[in-house]
Amino acid sequence: MEESEGDEYCPRPRGVNVMHFVKERVRQIAELIQAVDNRVLISGEVTKGPRTAVQRLPRHMRRRAMSYNIKRFPRMQRRFAISSIAASKHRQKPPSRFWRRRPRNLLLNYTRRQRKHVWLETHIWHAKRFRMIQKWGYNLPFCSYQRAFRPSHRDAMRHCVIRDVSFLRCFQIIGSSQVTIIELLRNICAPEVGPTFAFKTALDGRFEMPVMLYEPGKYPRGFIGPARFLWSKHRTDQKYTLAVWTHPSSSKNILSKFIDLLKLKKQDQEVDLIGTDKVPRNIDEWRLRNLQMKTDVYENSEDLKLLDLSDQMVRLRLYGPKSFEILREVLAVVEENEIMDSGMKEFVSNNQCWRNECSKLSPGEFPDGTVFSLLVEDPRLSRPLKKVKLAETNRRCSRKSLNVADLPLPLDDFWNFEIRRKALEKKLIETDLQKKRSMQLQPVKVSEAKIPILLIVRNTGTGTTNPFIGLDLITPSGFGLEFWLALQYGTARSIGLKDQKFLELESSHFNFPADVPDCDAGLNEFKEEYINLQEKYIRRPHNRRVKYWSSLSIKYPFTFQFSELSHDWFENSGFEGTSYVIRNRRTLLAIEKWLIGRGPIPKESIMNSAALVPVSLVSITVGRPQRFALICAPIDEDFTTIAKLSKGENAMQIVEQSRTNTLESAFNNQKNEENQENEIGLEDFISLDVTANEKHIPLNSLFPDKEMLWKRKLKKKKKKKREKAKTAKRLKRNVESNPQTSISEELTNGREELEEKAVELIKYNSSCSRPIIGRIVRGDYSFVHGKGFALGYCCLPALKQLYHGVVLFRNVTSRYYHPARITLLKNQLDL
């Protein structure tokens, strides 16, 4: 084949230079051996070239998941490995169905577990730290597992304690005329007891006032319960709003009275189906859905509307002199340049007044019920990373008195449903907030959610160091846990229902409804408490039960029975009315003057009307009064014993003697007489019969069958257990059907059933050696008084038995009487 002239011709070599070829191959083999034998490389590596992050690790530390999971690397290598993993193109493994459905299942479980008893927004926080109880349809924190009452009282006096009272229910009445609403609700109020809905200083919305509600036309009887009300005026449509806060134990009764007085009818709800059809993905969306679906609306033909806002508000109650200081550190009020909505511009003056003047004062310097309306940022943005104590400031009370009229008027935006709904819609979820923080070097201080809140001063005590002073923080639903955690980081101490009752005792206030005997809510509370105590008493063995009647002469150890006690003190025995508590301050002042000998005796209509007088007792010597203790009038011998007490002596011996059973003594006397007659007839006779004193012993007792004895013993044990179960069941059924019976009426022994008849014949007021004039509803050792202190009620006619204001009290489990000073209480009942 011929080649073209332009092609380069390279002939095939005829031979190979062996020396040259071997020399080149030797050089390559030497380089390979040098690479293999390099001791600098990691064990198992054969090259020094560029390696990945995984290849830099020893073989025993390598994992297959390192190529896509940075957490599989050692901590020291993660920074270098991030870039290589980010550049890898591995497909992200989708989460399993369990993790995809987990948020939905958690939300369903959260809603399912509060169908019977509603959870507060702070429930999960409390459930980890407090003992929870079910009361009034809610799961409420009762007491902390970590501490007693002493640190709570110390903080209430010097610092700040906080409690979640969001279980209080709110009713919003909307109408075009304020006078019309007042006239329609006039009959449910009692002007003699306290403020009414027509209270002059509360009409412009500057104050939230307490009010006592009674059955229409039944005053002084027919008490329903206390409430708090707040007026507000709409800025646009010139309508008035009356917000009434009630206790859940009396809310149904109050709502029915509002419906009857205002002639309202329940309306069908017009719900936005587009917004409620989709399944909520988180708790905030679930709360938004509830805001639209669970608001009951009542209307009438006169343009009056009532909205049931239960569980749509969060109310946090702070006690202590530093409540304002903690709120000043926790609340971040919205600056003027951050308010984008033109309708919110009026909050500027309120925020400035709070920041510059009010937050620097103590709640004891404001009148009770003073209202502040503020617009604040999300409390998560201003929450510190850890608890920081407040700086010690030598703050002094302002010399000039504070004029509440100069403060800005509270705004009604808080009661606007659309504003509350938009604030909850714009709330950042925790994931978005953390992502926003990670993308910014500076802390996040502003968000789209602007929250309207209300601050209400509580100053019902006397002086600025009373543990009952403080304020209430009211926020829209959905922000309760955020404000609660912020206040916890602000060093406010959390308390429960038990601590609340102790604080009310220290400030000489009755607890509603546990200490109120003349309303349905209080009677239901007494009934529930009686059933619990009775069941606990029955569970104890017979030889470990306290013998209240035979040993201690206590006729009603687990109930008060004020109606029966007041009827026993009647001069007119034909009167059959129910007992009631005197709450008229003028009447109480007249009774107090009569007791100390500076005034005439009260009217006969009051003295013979089953009236109960609220009193407080301070122990003179040792003794700590407890609930259900007896208040007795001393006799002449007791005054002599008290007079003999020296200054350094703190104890005295006034003992209740054990009650002798007359039926048993008569039975024993009759038996002894028969024995004596037989002995008299045989006094001079000596028997010589040896068999007369012999006793026949059966062979079965001498040689018992063990199996037969075991069967008899087992049968006897089963029979005893069966009878015990029947007795407990019968007692429980009798208690539930008639909870007003005494403990002695439920005894099953034949001899004790005979004793029951004797108990019924004895009057309540004379059932022990000292005349009973009242009972104690709340008592314990008081840190304020440094001795035993108690609150209770006394029958008004029985106060004639007193001399120099000295009484005796005796606990239901004790035989000893203790002297105490008695004074009348004129404090108003409050929520």
| pLDDT digits 0-9 by tens, 708-750 | 888 888 898 899 888 888 877 777 676 666 655 554 444 445 4
What was the pLDDT predicted at 350?
87
Question: How high is the pLDDT of residue 260?
Answer: 93
Is residue 695 helix, strand or coil? coil
Rounded-to-integer distance, Cα 237 and Cα 176, Å: 9
Please count the other Cβ atoms lying within 10 Å of the Cβ belonging to residue 115: 7
Indicate if the pLDDT at residue 607 is higher than 80.
no
**Whether pLDDT at 4 is above 60:** no
pLDDT tens, position by position, 220-265: 899 999 999 999 988 777 889 999 999 999 999 999 999 999 999 9
> Coil, strand or helix: which one is 307?
strand
Output the pLDDT for position 49: 58
Under the banding of pLDDT at 50, 70 and 90, the label for residue 340 is confident
Give the SS3 label for residue 640: helix
561-588 average pLDDT score: 82
Mean pLDDT, residues 355-370 taken together? 85
Higher pLDDT, 428 or 465: 428
| pLDDT value for 703 | 74
Of the pLDDT bands very low, low, confident and very high (cuts 50, 70, 90), residue 660 is low
Q: What is the mean pLDDT of residues 617-634?
A: 93
Q: Which residues contact 594 (CB under 8 A, 6 or more apart)?
A: 600, 601, 602
Q: Which segment of 93-97, 262-266, 524-528, 750-754 scores lowest on mean pLDDT?
A: 750-754
Q: How far is CA 328 from the centre of its chain?
A: 25
Structure tokens at 810: 């005796």
Give 124's pLDDT tier (boundaries 50, 70, 90): very high
- Residue 276 pLDDT class (50, 70, 90 cuts): low
Region 393-408: what's the mean pLDDT?
66
DSSP for 33-86, please give it.
Answer: HHHHT-TTSPTT----S---TTTTS-GGG--GGGGT-GGGS-GGGHHHHHHHHH
Q: Which two tokens stand for residue 791?
A: 């609150």
Q: What is the mean pLDDT of the chain?
A: 84
In this prediction, residues 505-531 reach a mean pLDDT of: 94
Span 375-382, average pLDDT: 91
Is 813's pLDDT higher than 60? yes
Phi, psi dihedrals of residue 308, rounded to the nearest 5°: -90, 105
pLDDT over 80 (residue 608): no
| Model pLDDT, residue 274 | 47
Residue 119 DSSP label: E
Q: 80 versus 390: which is more confidently predicted?
A: 80
pLDDT of residue 523: 94
Dihedral sign from CA coordinates of 29, 30, 31, 33: positive
Confidence category of residue 459, pLDDT binned at 50, 70, 90: confident
Partners of residue 143 on adjacent β-strands? 131
The pLDDT score that the predictor gives to residue 1 is 45
Q: Given this model, what pLDDT does residue 646 score?
A: 65
Q: What is the CA radius of gyration of the chain?
A: 40
The answer to whether 110 and 287 have CB atoms below 8 angstroms apart is no
Residue 43's pLDDT is 58
Q: What is the mean pLDDT of residues 157-180?
A: 93
Count of H-run helices and E-run strands, the chain: 24, 23
pLDDT attached to residue 3: 47
Q: What is the b/e burial string over 238-270, where b = at least 16 CB atoms within 10 angstroms of the residue's CB? A: ebbbbbbbbbbbbbebbbebbeebbebeeeeee
Q: Helix, strand or coil for residue 280?
A: coil
Which pLDDT belongs to residue 595?
Answer: 85
Whether residue 687 is predicted with pLDDT greater than 70 in this model: the reply is no
Predicted pLDDT of residue 744? 46
In this predicted structure, what is the pLDDT of residue 373? Answer: 92
Residue 676: the pLDDT is: 60
- When pLDDT is averaged across residues 252-279 and rounded to a whole number, the result is 78
Distances (CA, A) of 615 to 629, 727, 785, 807, 826: 14, 40, 16, 11, 9
Residues of the chain with pLDDT > 90, as a percent, come to 38
In this prediction, residue 748 carries a pLDDT of 46
* Percent of all residues in the chain with a pLDDT value above 70, rounded to a whole number: 84
Q: What is the mean pLDDT of residues 623-645?
A: 88
| pLDDT for position 316 | 96
- Tell me if 117 sits within 8 A of 137, measured CB to CB: yes
Q: Give the pLDDT band of residue 673 (cuts 50, 70, 90).
A: low
Average pLDDT in the 129-150 region?
A: 91
Is the pLDDT at 820 greater than 80? The verdict is yes
